[in-house]
Amino acid sequence: MTRTAIVTGAARGIGAATARRLAADGHAVAVVDLDESQAGATAAAIEAGGGRAVAIGADVSDADAVAAAVARAADELGAPTILVNNAGILRDNLLFKMAEADWDQVIAVHLRGAFLMSRAVQAHQVDAGWGRIVNLSSTSALGNRGQANYAAAKAGLQGLTKTLAIELGRYGVTANAVAPGFIETDMTRATAERMGVPFEAFLAGAAKEIPVGRVGQPDDIAAAVSFFCSEGAGFVSGQVLYVAGGPRG
């Protein structure tokens, strides 16, 4: 069945791969991102492949922008009943050097953003008596040096996911989290740059630590998100799936 999906942070990386995958699964996709022009490129690629998509520029941490984005997705594509909260940023630093703004921004985009988007979209899901929410957590939720803000946000998303599953289950809505390990995107490229390591060497070093012997690609995550969004996953809710090329969690 064709649904309308909203994927946040879908201008590039994991979000863009997820938007393309959900379109290939037959859904219309609202490509939401701070970067509206790059979101337009993701939407254009979906349309070029025969799918339906619209690009919407919005900051997920801004309640008015979220309300407007969800309303526009509903107007242009139909009531959104699939939501993937993927938008994210890094502001890594050791605790003693971490500025308050770095803490606040990371919490705002990941946690407040997922809260605002979920609150806006659930109205459509409850009306439809069907819905899927997938939140992007991370292996960093288990703790990671230099990421007090990000680890707290990603662990927080797991608590949010489980609570959404409990509150919304009776309306036919499931909520799950995908927690990626190392994925080759601009986010990990920026980490390599910050550490002064060439990206290729950074990738090779990471791959050595991963049981399947390679780093992850955005499509690896999109495949897991696609499962949680499928009709067949209706009895799977409140789960956290680590997609990291080996056991975690």
Site residues for ligand NAI per CB under 6 A: 8-9, 11-15, 33-35, 59-61, 86-89, 109, 113, 136, 138, 180, 182-183, 185-188
Closer of 128 and 210 to ligand NAI (Cβ): 210
Which residue of the set 103, 150, 202, 228 is catalytic?
150
Smallest separation, CB 235 to ligand NAI (Å): 26
Is residue 89 within 8 A of residue 11, CB to CB? The reply is: no
Closer of 25 and 92 to ligand NAI (Cβ): 92
Is residue 22 within 8 A of residue 29, CB to CB? The reply is: yes
d(CA 173, CA 204): 40
Closer of 10 and 130 to ligand NAI (Cβ): 10
Smallest separation, CB 172 to ligand NAI (Å): 26
Closer of 28 and 177 to ligand NAI (Cβ): 177
Smallest separation, CB 1 to ligand NAI (Å): 27
Contacts 24+ apart (CB under 8 A), 154-158: 154/110, 154/179, 156/107, 156/110, 156/111, 157/85, 157/110, 157/111, 157/114, 158/240
d(CA 226, CA 198): 32
150 is annotated as an active-site residue: yes
Residue nearest to ligand NAI (CB): 13
Smallest separation, CB 114 to ligand NAI (Å): 9
Query: 133 has which bridge partners?
Result: 83, 175
Task: Kindly give the pairing relationship between strand 80-85 and strand 4-8.
Answer: parallel
- By annotation, the residues acting in catalysis are 150
